[in-house]
Chain A
Amino acid sequence: MATARAEQAVTAFPHEQRQLPVRVYTPESPIRHPGTLVRDAFRDLAIARKLAWRLAVRDISAQYRQTFLGYLWALLPSVMITLVWVALNRANVVHISTGTISFAVFALSGTIFWSLFLDSLNSPLSQLSGNRTMLVRVQFPPEALLLSGLVQVAFSFAIKLALLLVVAAALGAPLQWTLVLVVIPAFAFVAFGVVVGTLLAPLGALYKDVQQGLLAIVMPLMFLTPVIYPPPPAGVAATIMRYNPLTPLFGLTRRLLFGTGVIPYEGFGIVFGGTLLVATFGWLLFRLVMPLLIERMEA
């Protein structure tokens, strides 16, 4: 794991001559040997990939085996939120105009991609707490948990996306051939969520405040993001939405799906590029702090 510096030494079993892996554990920070840190990280990543798949299969099968409605649960929350907003809009409690596409399709696409972001954001921390006992007892690359979380997020998103396309087609939304490219903003949503989630996870594994804080912040954040309604033309909300890093992601998504709005090249580029950059550091940081976290998690 992160504390180890792997070397190769010629050491022998009594009756067979072979290379034994050597690991050295010291109080030193692995950051002092960046080369080794990165090499170990990539070595573990290969192991983590296979393990992540197993863990994801485990969690998905277990999760749905214990439910009556099964995979429907991936859909219900988004559908419920959409229905409430559609009802509010119909009753003229709110007045939301979404141009060429119906409000229901607009809102459903918004909530589905919003939940993709939320799932990604929560995934690292929930993986850490869900696998606590394993973490404090078994040596395995902790990246496996992050990757397993990604697989699970992708799985439930695939179900939701299928529903969205069916509903959109049924309601006569102007679906574009570009919709296959929607995987690009989808990937950006996941990356952005997981990176922020991973940076918060070590803190969150220690202090419950992080989880509470996330709960408190997501609802207001949703109203300051073009999830249910398009950005208003002016006002404080408009300014916040303009600088909200999620806004270009929603813009690109809807453009690719329905051909509405302009492609936010600049905004998307900045957010996506920045996310990938931070992701590399976030990953190494996560590796560095894991052993310290594990010793406090037992407490």
Chain B
Amino acid sequence: MDIAPAIQVSSVSKRYCRSLKKSLWYGIRDMGNELVGRGQQADHLRPAEFWALKDVSFEVGHGESVGLVGHNGAGKTTLLKLINGLVKPSSGRITVRGSVRALIALGAGFNPVLTGRENIRVASAVLGFSEQETRDRFDDIVDFSELGEFLDAPVQTYSSGMVARLGFSIAVHTRPDILLVDEVLAVGDLRFAMKCFQKIGSFRAEGGAILLVSHNPYMIRRNCDRVVWMETGHVREIGEVNEICDAYEAEMANEAAPSLQEHYSDGTIRVVGVDCPAEIASGEGLSLRVVLESERAFVNPIVQVSFTDAGGQHVVVNDTLNDHVGLELERGTNVFELDYPTLPLRPGVYTFNVAVSEQFMTNLCLMDLAVGRFEVRREREDHGAGVLALAPTWHTDATAAARDEAAR
């Protein structure tokens, strides 16, 4: 059977205004147009306006999970607002088939003076639940939120994590046909985030459609089938999750590289050359050469080399002290070579950093962040999560039995 998509966004544009004064005036004019039946159809910008969305088209099928990635200001949140029916498009058409629930405003409608118990009833009502439905779901909400004895305390005494937990619990204990999620899973501790993942996963398994906005490629890879990559209001690319996430991450790393570059030197030593392959396959070895030019001899120097991933995390750190390398740094040119026989990093772009210190790290002489970069290629299809890409040998009951058989 041919099933119409859950969300259909067709050539949607939305203009917004940068100037508050003008925005208010346009607001009055827009209201006037609406009342005389002219509507908001617009294909041009008025002074001080910009396209928050321009000609955006994509679909989300029932049972499909689509991620929405892009920089701040790419139009992701605006898009969710349009799909949620809060704001009208300036042109184009959005068709939504099925009930929609948005995990956007966790805790919207909460009154800080009232208790968690009272706020559950209010927030449920705002989300459109009847009294009966709220009563039926009440215990589940309370259990999931893990508020315990805080349930009868005013919400203003809650930590921000607790507020978010309560908000998420209320919103997620429902079975809409379509779930819109905006960066909310970042809240709460890791364990609660995992619980939320599970909840969303089961929603997906039941055939619900999901549109998930996140800056975090890991979240997208884990939860989505396809990805829409937004850039300054346009759709830049739509495709299968790993393909788009790889490209998006690579670009993020490229853009981040200049900002990661940081240079400190006490003036007596500097990096004059680095040598490293531009690309390796995951698990392949890597050889690195660093050339330092020194103005003096150093007392008990330590040289440190580290790798940083696209997210800014140091994934590998090595230094001559911990690796028990006796080291002399003389006046003039000093060359260091590091050989990693295997580097099982997961695919992505990495930068490397060089630091030199003296006197057992009490005196930092040189720190050069992102002096070079290399890319780790994707060798096999995988979900690309985690920091390391290892290929362990698995032993299952069947292989164990075969091994026992062979030993006999």
Q: Is the CB of A202 within 8 A of B41?
A: no
> Complex formed: what's the CA distance from A26 to B94 in Å?
7
> Complex formed: what's the CA distance from A292 to B118 in Å?
31
Whether, in the assembled complex, A140 has its beta carbon less than 8 Å from a beta carbon of chain B, the answer is: yes
Mask of A26-61 contacts with B, CB within 8 angstroms, 1/0: 111101100000000000000100110011011101
CB pairs A–B below 8 angstroms (20 shown): A4-B85, A11-B3, A20-B177, A23-B85, A25-B85, A26-B94, A27-B41, A27-B89, A28-B39, A29-B37, A31-B36, A32-B39, A54-B126, A58-B122, A137-B102, A137-B108, A138-B127, A140-B126, A295-B87, A299-B23
What is the minimal beta-carbon distance from A28 to any residue of chain B, in angstroms?
A: 4
Q: Which of A266-299 contact B (CB under 8 A)?
A: 285, 288-289, 291-296, 299
Q: Which of B189-225 contact A (CB under 8 A)?
A: 207
Whether, in the assembled complex, A15 has its beta carbon less than 8 Å from a beta carbon of chain B, the answer is: yes
Q: Which residues of chain B are within 8 angstroms of A55 by Cβ–Cβ distance?
A: 109, 122, 125-126
16 further A-B contacts with Cβ under 8 Å, apart from A1-B86, A27-B40, are: A9-B97, A11-B3, A11-B4, A15-B207, A25-B94, A29-B34, A47-B128, A50-B125, A62-B111, A139-B100, A291-B85, A291-B87, A291-B88, A292-B27, A295-B88, A299-B17
| Total contacting residues, chain B, CB less than 8 A | 64
Q: Is the CB of B118 within 8 A of A133?
A: no
Q: Is the CB of A31 within 8 A of B1?
A: no
Q: Is the CB of B88 within 8 A of A13?
A: no
Q: Which residues of chain A are within 8 angstroms of B128 by Cβ–Cβ distance?
A: 47, 51, 140
What is the minimal beta-carbon distance from A262 to any residue of chain B, in angstroms?
A: 40
Q: A11-B97, A22-B95, A299-B20 are in contact. Are A27 and B108 (CB under 8 A)?
A: no
Whether, in the assembled complex, B57 has its beta carbon less than 8 Å from a beta carbon of chain A, the answer is: no
Q: Which residues of chain A are within 8 angstroms of B126 by Cβ–Cβ distance?
A: 51, 54-55, 134, 138, 140
Q: Is the CB of A285 within 8 A of B88?
A: no
Q: Is the CB of A139 within 8 A of B93?
A: no
Q: Is the CB of B125 within 8 A of A288?
A: no
Q: Which residues of chain B are within 8 angstroms of A88 by Cβ–Cβ distance?
A: none
Q: Which residues of chain B are within 8 angstroms of A23 by Cβ–Cβ distance?
A: 85, 95-96
| Total contacting residues, chain A, CB less than 8 A | 55
Q: Which residue of B lies closest to A21 (CB)?
A: B99
Whether, in the assembled complex, A215 has its beta carbon less than 8 Å from a beta carbon of chain B, the answer is: no
Q: Which 3 A-B pairs have the closest CB atoms?
A: A137-B105, A54-B125, A29-B39
> Complex formed: what's the CA distance from A71 to B252 in Å?
58
Q: Is the CB of B94 within 8 A of A292?
A: no
Q: Which residues of chain A are within 8 angstroms of B407 by Cβ–Cβ distance?
A: none
Q: Is the CB of A27 within 8 A of B88?
A: yes
Q: A137-B108, A140-B126, A140-B128 are in contact. Are A296 and B94 (CB under 8 A)?
A: no
Q: Is the CB of A25 within 8 A of B82?
A: yes
Whether, in the assembled complex, A136 has its beta carbon less than 8 Å from a beta carbon of chain B, the answer is: yes
Mask of B99-128 contacts with A, CB within 8 angstroms, 1/0: 110101100110101100010011001111
Whether, in the assembled complex, A235 has its beta carbon less than 8 Å from a beta carbon of chain B, the answer is: no
Q: Is the CB of A22 within 8 A of B93?
A: no
> Complex formed: what's the CA distance from A295 to B15 in Å?
10
Q: Which residues of chain A are within 8 angstroms of B26 by Cβ–Cβ distance?
A: 296
Q: Is the CB of A28 within 8 A of B41?
A: yes
Q: Which residues of chain A are within 8 angstroms of B27 by Cβ–Cβ distance?
A: 206, 292-293, 296
Whether, in the assembled complex, A84 has its beta carbon less than 8 Å from a beta carbon of chain B, the answer is: no
Q: Which residues of chain B are within 8 angstroms of A58 by Cβ–Cβ distance?
A: 109, 111, 114, 118, 122
Q: Which residue of B lies closest to A285 (CB)?
A: B35
Whether, in the assembled complex, A207 has its beta carbon less than 8 Å from a beta carbon of chain B, the answer is: yes
What is the minimal beta-carbon distance from A291 to any residue of chain B, in angstroms?
A: 5
Interfacial residues, chain B to chain A (CB-CB below 8 A): 1, 3-4, 16-17, 20, 23-24, 26-28, 30-31, 33-42, 62-63, 81-100, 102, 104-105, 108-109, 111, 113-114, 118, 121-122, 125-128, 130-131, 177, 207
Whether, in the assembled complex, A66 has its beta carbon less than 8 Å from a beta carbon of chain B, the answer is: yes
Q: Which residues of chain B are within 8 angstroms of A62 by Cβ–Cβ distance?
A: 111, 113-114
Q: Which residues of chain B are within 8 angstroms of A203 by Cβ–Cβ distance?
A: 28
> Complex formed: what's the CA distance from A295 to B126 in Å?
19
Q: Is the CB of B86 within 8 A of A133?
A: no
Q: Which residue of A lies closest to B127 (CB)?
A: A138
Q: Which residue of A lies closest to B96 (CB)?
A: A23
> Complex formed: what's the CA distance from A14 to B83 in Å?
22
Q: Which residues of chain B are within 8 angstroms of A4 by Cβ–Cβ distance?
A: 85
Q: Which residues of chain A are within 8 angstroms of B1 by Cβ–Cβ distance?
A: 12
> Complex formed: what's the CA distance from A1 to B92 in Å?
18
What is the minimal beta-carbon distance from B265 to any residue of chain A, in angstroms?
A: 46
Q: A51-B126, A140-B128 are in contact. Are A292 and B85 (CB under 8 A)?
A: no
Q: Is the CB of B87 within 8 A of A50?
A: no
Q: Which residues of chain A are within 8 angstroms of B24 by Cβ–Cβ distance?
A: 206-207, 296
> Complex formed: what's the CA distance from A137 to B171 in Å?
13
Q: Which residues of chain B are within 8 angstroms of A90 by Cβ–Cβ distance?
A: none
> Complex formed: what's the CA distance from A4 to B87 in Å?
10
The one of A28, A61, A134, A299 that contacts B114, using a Cβ cutoff of 8 Å: A61
Q: Which residue of B lies closest to A1 (CB)?
A: B85
Whether, in the assembled complex, A3 has its beta carbon less than 8 Å from a beta carbon of chain B, the answer is: yes
The one of B4, B39, B108, B113 that contacts A134, using a Cβ cutoff of 8 Å: B108
Q: Is the CB of A20 within 8 A of B122?
A: no
> Complex formed: what's the CA distance from A62 to B114 in Å?
6
What is the minimal beta-carbon distance from B184 to any residue of chain A, in angstroms?
A: 12
Whether, in the assembled complex, A216 has its beta carbon less than 8 Å from a beta carbon of chain B, the answer is: no
What is the minimal beta-carbon distance from A59 to any residue of chain B, in angstroms?
A: 8
Q: Is the CB of B102 within 8 A of A139?
A: yes
Q: A20-B177, A31-B37, A292-B34 are in contact. Are A54 and B104 (CB under 8 A)?
A: no
Q: Which residues of chain A are within 8 angstroms of B20 by Cβ–Cβ distance?
A: 299
Q: Is the CB of B40 within 8 A of A292?
A: yes
Q: Is the CB of A133 within 8 A of B108?
A: yes
Q: Which residue of A lies closest to B8 (CB)?
A: A24
Q: Which residues of chain A are within 8 angstroms of B87 by Cβ–Cβ distance?
A: 291, 294-295
Q: Is the CB of A139 within 8 A of B105?
A: no
> Complex formed: what's the CA distance from A288 to B88 in Å?
11
The one of B38, B86, B91, B98 that contacts A20, using a Cβ cutoff of 8 Å: B98
Q: Which residues of chain B are within 8 angstroms of A296 by Cβ–Cβ distance?
A: 23-24, 26-27
> Complex formed: what's the CA distance from A296 to B108 in Å?
19
